[in-house]
């Protein structure tokens, strides 16, 4: 979907102050990040030497989610906010709950399987609320791990990720009408540009005005769901939803294909060639003092350090993103080591990274 003003533009947007805009953008960063652990877990659960097509599709998608995270950081920095990936609760306690229209659904850190691909399709599914009233849905009592909800009211969740960004876009327009270009008062040296973010699944957009802000939001939404209802984004790249769908349908899309009907080469997917990892693993699932527990703690410590590194990069030192790349490969090696290891005492269930970072953050934040 696109972010042009739609529905009745006269209604009051949910974002009418800068603080509300910051809260929405903080929440957007959390949302973009929240898809990364499930995608990475599925990706690295694939057994070495198998499923090269699926591996590639997942890898490209997760790289684009990192682009989205950086685009939101640029947006937040442009309007004078401060991206912070180290705040308590930034990483959800999985399963997380994402919106999918009338209902929300559970997103888990799980092995590569038909079921996890089904969840990924739901994450990326294009959905537009049928009317203005349905854009915010009352999901009942607040719960941990609910994403895409209205900041300050965890009970109200947007109809879809697209609608959530639509609200941010409305807020940007509203505040721009109010404040003029003074809205974009952020320090331009905090913007991440292509010199520090490249080969990252699309061009990074430095944000300095309303137009570039819109371009950043459009890129995020189109890469997930496609442009204007099509299967490709405006850069001609297949949207995430349709990339994942290829694996389920067993065929690649090619030019001129219509949605749900890929007619390209066949894809072989070996659904069994993935390690049988513990779904939504927690440190408590591992015997205390076991080597696996130590490896899981080591990963969490590295991951907390990585989020801290990103926070510093987005906080005015974009050159640190070059170090972050090296760090990512280290995280990959730590993840695969866990995934390849059975949990002692549990026959046939392997370990997985737990992404429980808040406990360890204090020790590594600089």
Partner 1 sequence: MTSRRDLFIDLSVELTGYSRVQLLGTGMSERYLQALDEVLPDGMVDEFLATSAALPTMTIDAILRSETWGPVTRNIMILWYCGRWTALPDSWRAVHGTRPADSNHVISADSYQAGLQWVAAGAHPAGARQQGFGAWTVAPEEAAS
From 102-110, 165-173, 233-241, 328-336, span contacting partner 1 (CB under 8 A): 328-336
Place of tokens 């912070």: 84
Q: Does 326 bind partner 1 (CB under 8 A)?
A: yes
Distance (Å, rounded) from C-alpha 124 to C-alpha 120? 6
Which residue in 342, 346, 349, 360 binds partner 1 (CB under 8 A)? 342
* Nearest-approach distance from CB 300 to partner 1, in angstroms: 15
| 8 Å CB contact between 169 and 163 | no
Q: Which is nearer to partner 1, 175 or 309 (CB)?
A: 309
Buried b (16+ CB within 10 A) or exposed e, 247-268: bebebbbeeebeeeebeeeebe
Q: Which of 287, 257, 262, 279 is nearest to 355 (CA)?
A: 279
Q: Which is nearer to partner 1, 31 or 335 (CB)?
A: 335
Q: Which of 23, 114, 116, 119 is nearest to 72 (CA)?
A: 23
DSSP H helices in 12-143: 18-34, 36-45, 52-78, 114-124
Q: Which is nearer to partner 1, 203 or 294 (CB)?
A: 294
Element (H, E) at 97: strand 96-100
Which residue in 192, 295, 343, 357 binds partner 1 (CB under 8 A)? 295
From 16-24, 202-210, 321-329, 357-365, span contacting partner 1 (CB under 8 A): 321-329
Q: Which is nearer to partner 1, 249 or 346 (CB)?
A: 346
Q: Which is nearer to partner 1, 114 or 330 (CB)?
A: 330
Q: Does 66 bind partner 1 (CB under 8 A)?
A: no
* Nearest-approach distance from CB 312 to partner 1, in angstroms: 17
Which residue in 87, 336, 349, 360 binds partner 1 (CB under 8 A)? 336
Please report the sign of the dihedral spanned by the C-alpha atoms of residue 222, residue 223, residue 224, residue 225.
Answer: positive
List the interface residues with partner 1, window 1-60 (CB under 8 A).
47-49
Which residue in 292, 307, 313, 361 binds partner 1 (CB under 8 A)? 292
CA Rg value for the chain: 20
Q: Which is nearer to partner 1, 242 or 306 (CB)?
A: 306
| DSSP code at position 188 | G
Q: Does 340 bind partner 1 (CB under 8 A)?
A: yes
Please report the sign of the dihedral spanned by the C-alpha atoms of residue 205, residue 207, residue 212, residue 218.
Answer: positive
* Nearest-approach distance from CB 352 to partner 1, in angstroms: 13
Residues shown for the chain: 366
- Residue numbers of the site for partner 1 (CB under 8 A)? 47-49, 291-292, 294-295, 322-323, 325-330, 333-334, 336-338, 340-342
């Amino acid at each position: 979907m696109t972010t042009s003003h739609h529905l009745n533009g006269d209604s009051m947007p949910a974002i009418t102050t800068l603080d509300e805009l910051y809260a929405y953008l903080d929440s957007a960063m959390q949302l973009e990040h929240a898809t990364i652990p499930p995608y990475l877990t599925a990706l690295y659960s694939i057994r070495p030497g198998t499923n090269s097509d699926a591996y590639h599709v997942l890898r490209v998608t997760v790289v684009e989610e990192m682009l989205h995270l950086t685009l939101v950081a640029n947006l937040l920095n442009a309007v004078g906010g401060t991206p912070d990936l180290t705040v308590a609760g930034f990483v959800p306690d999985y399963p997380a709950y994402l919106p999918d229209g009338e209902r929300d659904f559970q997103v888990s850190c799980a092995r590569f399987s038909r079921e996890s691909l089904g969840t990924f399709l739901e994450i990326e599914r294009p959905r537009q609320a049928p009317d203005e009233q349905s854009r915010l849905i009352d999901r009942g009592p607040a719960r941990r791990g609910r994403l895409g909800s209205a900041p300050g009211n965890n009970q109200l969740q947007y109809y879809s990720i697209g609608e959530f960004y639509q609200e941010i876009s409305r807020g940007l327009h509203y505040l721009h009408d109010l404040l003029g270009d003074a809205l974009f008062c952020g320090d331009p040296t905090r913007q991440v540009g292509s010199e520090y973010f490249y080969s990252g699944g699309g061009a990074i957009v430095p944000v300095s005005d309303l137009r570039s802000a819109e371009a950043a939001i459009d890129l995020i939404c189109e890469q997930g769901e496609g442009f204007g209802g099509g299967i490709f984004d405006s850069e001609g790249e297949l949207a995430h939803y349709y990339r994942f769908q290829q694996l389920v349908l067993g065929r690649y899309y090619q030019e001129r294909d219509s949605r749900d009907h890929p007619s390209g080469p066949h894809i072989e997917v070996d659904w069994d060639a993935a390690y049988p990892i513990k779904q939504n693993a927690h440190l408590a699932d591992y015997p205390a003092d076991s080597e696996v527990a130590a490896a899981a703690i080591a990963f969490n410590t590295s991951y907390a350090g990585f989020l801290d590194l990103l926070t510093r990069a987005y906080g005015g030192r974009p050159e640190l993103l070059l170090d972050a790349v090296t760090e990512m490969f280290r995280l990959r090696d730590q993840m695969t080591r866990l995934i390849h290891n059975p949990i002692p005492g549990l026959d046939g269930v392997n370990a997985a990274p737990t992404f429980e970072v808040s406990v360890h953050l204090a020790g590594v934040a600089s």
